[in-house]
Structures are given as C-alpha cells and as structure tokens.
Amino acid sequence: MKPGKRETSCRRSRATLALGLMCLLGLLGRDVAAEPDPKPDTINARVNFGWRPTSRNFGGTNAFQVWEEQGSFHSDYEISGGGVTDAGLEMSFWKSLGVGLDISSYKSVNSAKIASRIPHPFFFDLPRSSNGTALGLTRQELGMHLHASWTLQPINWLELSLSGGPSLINARQDLVSTVEHTETGFPFDSVQFSGYSTTTQSETTLGWNTAVDVRAFVLQSMSNRFLQRLGVGLLLRYMRGSVSLAIANTPVEVDLGGLQVTSGIRFRF
Amino acid sequence: MRSFIHLFAASTLLVSAESTVALAQNLGQTDILKLAIGSGNQLSELRQADATVNQLSRNGELRQERPITEDPRLPGRTHERLSQYYDGVPIFGAEVTRQTENGMTVSVFGTLHTSINLDTTPVLSPELAAQTIERLAEQPPGSATRSRLVVLPIQSQGDDYRLAYESRIFTGTKLMIYFIDAITGDIAWAFDDLKTQQPALPCEQCAIGQGIGVQADPKKISVTMVGGNFLAYDQLRPADIYTFDMQGDSARTMAVVAGAVPLFDADLATDTDNRWIDGPSVDAHVGMGWTYDYLYQRFGRQSLNNLNVRLIGLVHPINRDVALTTTPELLSLLHLNAFYCGLCGPDGVGLTVFGEGLPPHLRANGQRVNFLAGSLDIVAHELAHGVTDFTSSLLYMDESGALNEAFSDIIAIGVEHYAEPLWQKGVGSADYVIGEDSFVPGGLRSLKTPSLFGDPDHYSLRFLGKDDNGGVHTNALIAGHAYYLAIEGGTNRVSGITVTGVGPENREQIEQVFYRAFTLLMTRDSNFEAARAATIQAARDLYGTNSQAEQAIVQAWTAVGVN
C-alpha cells in the first residue's frame, strides 16, 4: 500500500479513537517496516500505577412506605476518576503477535445527591421534598484482561504493543439503601435530611479492553543483565463493561471502565 | 398620614370627662352607646370614642380583663378588649374593643351603658343564688358554676338594669346561663348557651394510621400507640386532640358532658391494627385535626383559645337503635345534633359531641341522618363556637347569637374550601351547604340559597320569635349569605341588589375579613349593624380603603338589607 493512500484513510477515520489508533499504527508500521520483529517467546512483565480520569453517572429510585403512603428517594451517583493499579504479562509467540493477561484494580470514593419525597403525616398526596448528599461511597472495579497483542519495535530500545480482548470485570459499589429524615414539627410542611445508610453490591460481568503499551528499555546496552531487561512504560487502556445493580429491587444498568492512564516498570525475559 | 396622627394625638388630650355623654349625643344615642367607629367614620367621632374609652379606663369603669394582643397580620397594631364596670360590678355584655396603630386609635367597637342608676349592694348571697339555680335546674348541689355578681341590662325594658348573679349549669341537655336577681332572688334572665349544629415525630408513641370515614373515604389519622393498641389521641399537633367513644351510653355521655364523670384512656376510641374502620371516630378525630390546621394555617390561630387548648370530641354518644324510644331531648341532642359546650368536659374547658344520627330506615324531615361527625363542615362549625367563646363571646341569643352561628358556618365553609384542593382525599366536595354529608339529601343550611331551607336571605325577613334563642340558626343565614355574596357575587333574591364578589380565587380575603371582625373587633352583644361596620373596618385594615374586598363587603351587607 502506498503512503498517500494511508494518509487519506487516516483523515477519513480520525473521528473515532479506535480507528485513529489504527492509523497511528499504520503510519508507524510504514516507518518501522524494516525494523526487526521482537524475538518470539519473549515475556514482558509490567507493573503500573496511574489514574482513571473517566467520570460516570448513574441513578436510581428507592421507594418505601411511610405515613401510610409511598415515599421515595432518588440517588444520583457521580463516579469520579480514581487510582488504578495494573499488573500483567505479555508473551509473544509468533513474529509480532502475542497474548497476555493483565489484572487491574480501580478504586474511587464518591458521593451521591439524594432527593427525597416524604409523605405528609396528615394528608395524602402532599409530599414534602428534601435534599441531601451521601458521602464516602466507594466504587471498586477489579478487571482481568485477556488480550491478544501486536508488538512493534520502531527502534531498538522502544516497543509498542497494541492489544485487545475480553475483560472479566467485578464491580463493587456502595449504594444508599435507606435515608433518614427528621420531622420539623407542626405543621409538618418540611422535613430535614438527617442521615442515610448504605449497602455494598458486587456484580461481575464480561466486557472488553483495548490498550496501547509503550515500553522503553533504555538500559539494554548496559552490561548488567538485569538492567538490560528493565524498562519503563506507559499504558493506555480502555476497558468497558456494564453490570446491573439492584436499587430497590429495580435493576439499574451501571457502566464500568473507561480510559486508564498508567505507567510503571517493564521487565522482559 | 403623619399629620393626621399628630393632630389626632393632640386632640385626645383635650377631651373632657363628659365625653361619654357628648359622644352619645353625637351618635344620636342616649342610654346605650353602640360604638362601631372606624376609619369610615368622621375623625371627630373616632377622637371622641377614643377619649371616652380613655376617660372610662382612668375612672376604672373600663377594665382590661384580657392582655393586649399584637395584631396577627398587621405589624404595629394592637387590640385591647375592655369590660365596663358600674360601681365595681361588671355590666354584662358591656365591652369595647379598641384597635391601635403605634399608639393611635384606629377603631372602637362595642357597647357602653351611660345612665345606670343602681344600688350594687346585693341582698342575696352568691351561695344562695347558686342554690336557687341548682333548684331551678333540678341539679344536685355543686352543679352550678361559681356565681358572679353583674349588672344585667334588661333590653326588653329599655334602660332597666338589675343587679344579678350569673352562673352556668349543665342540665343534661342544656347549658343554661341563669341570672338571679341579687335583690329579690327571682330569675332575671336565662338562656341555653349550648351551641348546637341545627336548631419524627415529636413523641415516641405517636403513630399515623389509616382510617375509613363515614363516607368510606380513606384518611390518615394521628394516634398514639399504647401497649400494642392505638388510641385516638393526637399528639402531633400543638394542641392535643382526643376522640372518645362513648359506646352508645347516653347516661355516661351526659355525665361526662356535665363534668360529673371523668374520662379515661379506656374511653378513647381504639383500634388494634391502626386500620381504623369506625367512621365516626375517624371523621371526628381527623376533622378536629383539619380544623385545627385550617385555623393555624389560615389565621395563625393556635386552637380555640389561641393558646393550644386541647380538643375533645365524643362519638357514639347514644345507641342509634334507641332513636324511637328515647326522650325528645336526647333525640334532638344526641341523635340529630352536634354541639360544642364551652364549659363542659372533665376539665371544664369545652368539648364537642357528635350526634349518632338515625338508623338507616328512619328519616327526620324527610332526610336520612347519618353520623354527624361524617361532615367536615359540622365538625368545623362546632369547634368555631369555641373560637367565638374565646374571642367575641357573642351572646347566644337574638342577633348576636345569629352572628355566633354565622361565624361557625363561615369557618365551616372555609375549612371545606381550604381543604378540598389541598388535602384532597377524604375531604369531600367544598360547597356552601352545611351538613350535606350527614343530612341526606340536601343538608341543613345553604349560605348560597338560604331560602332552600326556609331561612331568611334578607334582614327584612329575619325571624323575630323566641324559639331557638331568637332564631340564631335561622337569622345566621343573613350574615352567611352576605359572606357568600362577598366571595362569589350575585344578586340578592329580595333586594335585587347585585354584588360583585372578590371571586373564589380571592376567597381568603373575605375569610380574613370576617375572622378579623369576629375575633378582634366585635363584642358580646354585637348586632348585624355592628357586624357590618366591623367587617368593613377589617377589610380596610387588611386590604385598604375602597379595596375590592371592602366594596364586596359593603355591597353584600347592603344586598341582604343590613345597613
């Protein structure tokens, strides 16, 4: 394929991140085509620490019986970015192709905005409203990412690995299960949000992941065999999945994952 | 306005001690001074009235028996209620209300007696007077309240006055007020003061249940849980509300009303699962609560006395099945009526009894009579009598009695209209008919069309007989119809005068006007003329001179022939 056609293809497809990555790989492939493939049977190990900037929202409504009538509260959860730890192995088995397994852990502490409708003690259909915030709600996602990879080596000390595959994701989410209100007294025109309690739900789902790992082994020319194999790397992983959490026995689809940016050490053997 | 106040203040200092007589002459009155002076009168009249009140207060002839109250709606305004004394003895029904703003008088209403000539040394002792009353009422010793020496104006005899002992006694079917001549020991006057319907949470034990009313309508009910049972005792409102189930025991009912027998927790209406199915208990209990809510939310009033006096309701006062065999008095009182008795109850501060109605196969005047507690307007009407007792104390006779009844009807209509859109379930439909949910078909009275029930819709048609304390339930419709016209507008059937009402969307204005006039401005013996003047003054106080409300009030009273 001629370079000009590759550039045209790139312009057409840069609207999407995935195709953009393909373009980048293609361009890199053009420049490095003459470079040698990584050695087969090489195993790359990596340990990363970083951040997941993606924010996600979900919400749900709980209903309950109070004052002889149905009351409710709606919780809006805003899942912010959080720290990510990632570790894995990747082994090339034929030319540039390889397989790998990574485990990543994400954790963030979040809040939820709670809007309640509390029935009036004396009258039907005259609910009072209140607002509050629940704090300290933890979201944890533990992902096991199986992936196939394609590794390029544009220059001698630099590797670039493109990978993708299925992810098994376990999500643990703190949910507001009950709210507490204080009656302000006669004429009971208002209530005060005074507390809440939480439960933790855990669900596992099958999702997918795609990643770019850039590895630099700048010490490979040194005489120490350990240092020769030691490198640093930057991993960009996008994983995605969703689970169904039960809020007041009503299933609520909750999105998992997002872009993870981590960096750490590499070791190949 | 500022110059007016200064001028007014200066002038009051110049009024002579003979101002009472001068004012009486100015008003064209001689022996009895009927004051209904407000912002619609000449400034000179207001000055003279104010000076008269001041002078009589200095002399000790006018005494303040209740503390001066701040106006609940108009900052800077205060209300005082003064009773007139003659030679140290209170004159029955003689009192004055004075409204001031920053020390300046705005209105003066009431009655003063200017030419009493009476020896105030009694021959009879208070004890002997009480014994006389108990003998007349055929009640045991100790039944009568403590006798109070008063000067009693005898209205039917012009300027005649008697020195008399006033005492109340409950006879079993009537709350009689007796006046025993303190010289001769004869009965000077007596009347029945029983106000009848027709002729998180703050406490741990509080609970909310659900009840089914007489009309099979669901209601929330505020109760108290004790030992796994639920009692009709509402502690969630600032005033405790109790509903007692007399279980058809009429003898015990009357003993409780008389204060001869105490009430116990065991007498409270009870339910085991907080799913209340006894309609009268549910409706009486809930209706009293809603009436409390209306008074509080609309007028800022805290219960009947504005000090959160507890409310007591009695249901099932008699067995329905004895309607054909009981006495006519009990049939009238405990089957066909509801009544508020201000001095009754275990602690003597009032209770309400809700009649049992008639068995389904019986009719009264062609109407089926269901439990009276089933009508929210009847519940509110009775409690409103308590408000009157604690404010104007409108004498339950003749025109003042008719106004007493009218005010209760007005509050009853107000509760229904306030409740219908706001509280919805269990309220029923708001209208201008009293008692339509219990007296089927039709109801008891119509403020919209009084003639439907044979009641007068014009002053010229007022009842002038002696029955029903001078037609208090009948003549009430003259004022009630004026209230209706002031809100809804329309043409009076008799006068043909058309009134432009404020409209249903502004009904609160007229409610506020009547409430203000009846609770702050009017006095014990106010008549229709005084009611007209007081409501006009109230409209000006609240909404300004020539406001839509004032015009509606003026037109309405004129339309019903009260000028």
Q: Are residues A14 and A59 in the same domain?
A: no
Q: Are residues A14 and A136 in the same domain?
A: no
- Name the residue in chain A with its Cα closest to that of B234: A122
**The domain that contains A119 carries what CATH number?**
2.40.160.20
Q: Are residues B236 and B362 in the same domain?
A: yes
Q: Are residues B397 and B380 in the same domain?
A: no
Nearest Cβ partner of B208 from A121, A126, A187? A121
**Token pair belonging to B521:** 């401005």
Q: Are residues B48 and B172 in the same domain?
A: no
B201 — pLDDT class (breaks 50, 70, 90): low
| B285 touching A (Cβ < 8 Å) | no
Q: How many domains would you assign to chain B?
A: 4
Q: Are residues A21 and A146 in the same domain?
A: no
Cβ neighbours of residue B248 under 8 Å, at least 6 residues apart? B316, B317, B318, B319, B320, B356
Q: Are residues A19 and A113 in the same domain?
A: no
Structural domain contains residue B120: no
- % chain B with pLDDT above 70: 91
Nearest Cβ partner of B425 from A124, A181, A182? A124
Mutant choice from B204, B208, B296 vs A, greatest count of A C-beta within 10 A: B208
- pLDDT tens for each residue of B333-345: 999 999 999 888 7
3-state secondary structure B248-277: CCHHHHHHHHHCCCCCCHHHECEECCCEEC
- pLDDT tens for each residue of B16-60: 334 555 555 555 555 778 888 887 777 888 888 888 888 888 888
Q: How many domains would you assign to chain A?
A: 2
- Is B92 within 8 Å of B153 (Cβ atoms)? yes
- Is B165 within 8 Å of B179 (Cβ atoms)? yes
Tell me if B289 and A185 make a contact (CB, 8 A cut-off). Answer: no
- Is B146 within 8 Å of B126 (Cβ atoms)? yes
* Look-up of token digits 């009589």: B56
Q: Is residue A42 scored above 60 in pLDDT?
A: yes
Mean pLDDT of chain B, nearest integer: 88
What pLDDT does residue A98 have? Answer: 93
Q: Are residues A11 and A105 in the same domain?
A: no
Tell me if B220 and A67 make a contact (CB, 8 A cut-off). Answer: yes
Contacts of B222 in chain A (CB under 8 A): 121-122
Nearest Cβ partner of A126 from B222, B238, B423? B423
Structural domain contains residue B164: yes
In eight-state DSSP terms, residue B530 is H
> Average of pLDDT values for B99-128?
88
What pLDDT does residue A103 have? Answer: 97
B423 — pLDDT class (breaks 50, 70, 90): low
Q: B413 or B116: which carries more pLDDT confidence?
A: B413
Contacts of B423 in chain A (CB under 8 A): 122-124, 126
Q: Are residues B481 and B555 in the same domain?
A: yes
Q: Is residue B472 scored above 70 in pLDDT?
A: yes
- Ramachandran region, residue A20 (left: φ > 0; alpha: ψ -120 to 50; beta: rest): alpha
**The domain that contains B133 carries what CATH number?**
3.10.450
Q: Are residues B415 and B373 in the same domain?
A: no
What pLDDT does residue A9 have? Answer: 37
| B238 touching A (Cβ < 8 Å) | yes
In eight-state DSSP terms, residue B147 is P
Whole-angstrom distance, CA of residue A106 vs CA of residue A120: 43
- Is B371 within 8 Å of B279 (Cβ atoms)? yes
Q: Are residues B252 and B380 in the same domain?
A: yes
Structural domain contains residue B218: yes
10 Å CB burial of residue B101 (0-12, 13-18, 19+) is middle
In total, the C-beta contacts within 8 angstroms joining chain A to chain B are 51
What pLDDT does residue B287 have? Answer: 96
Q: Are residues B224 and B299 in the same domain?
A: yes
**The domain that contains B411 carries what CATH number?**
1.10.390.10
**Token pair belonging to A215:** 């590895």
Q: Are residues B149 and B91 in the same domain?
A: no
Mean pLDDT of chain A, nearest integer: 85
- Interface residue ranges in chain A relative to chain B, Cβ cutoff 8 Å: 67-69, 120-126, 181-183, 185-188
Whole-angstrom distance, CA of residue A25 vs CA of residue A149: 13
Among the three residues B325, B358, B388, which one is the final residue of a domain in this structure? B388
Q: Are residues A143 and A249 in the same domain?
A: yes
Structural domain contains residue B199: no
Q: Are residues B351 and B404 in the same domain?
A: no
Q: Are residues B241 and B360 in the same domain?
A: yes
Its domain, for residue A156, covers 35-268
| B420 touching A (Cβ < 8 Å) | no
Q: Which of A162-166, B44-48, B105-109, B215-219 has the lowest mean pLDDT?
A: B44-48
B262 — pLDDT class (breaks 50, 70, 90): confident
| B210 touching A (Cβ < 8 Å) | yes
Q: Are residues A263 and A168 in the same domain?
A: yes
Q: Are residues A8 and A60 in the same domain?
A: no
Its domain, for residue B519, covers 391-563
Q: Are residues A103 and A208 in the same domain?
A: yes
**The domain that contains B295 carries what CATH number?**
3.10.170.10
| Active-site annotation of B, residues | 382, 473
Residue at B370: amino acid letter? N
> Average of pLDDT values for B299-314?
95
- Name the residue in chain B with its Cα closest to that of A66: B208
Q: Are residues A261 and A169 in the same domain?
A: yes
Among the three residues B159, B192, B225, which one is the final residue of a domain in this structure? B192
Interface confidence (ipTM) of the complex: 0.75
Q: Are residues A228 and A117 in the same domain?
A: yes
Q: Are residues B228 and B375 in the same domain?
A: yes
Among the three residues B367, B388, B409, which one is the final residue of a domain in this structure? B388
- Name the residue in chain A with its Cα closest to that of B275: A68
Cβ neighbours of residue A130 under 8 Å, at least 6 residues apart? A115, A116, A118, A181, A190, A191, A192, A193
Q: Are residues B92 and B213 in the same domain?
A: no
Tell me if B293 and A181 make a contact (CB, 8 A cut-off). Answer: no
Structural domain contains residue B198: no
Structural domain contains residue B197: no
φ and ψ at A35, to 5 degrees?
-75, 160
Q: Are residues A13 and A72 in the same domain?
A: no
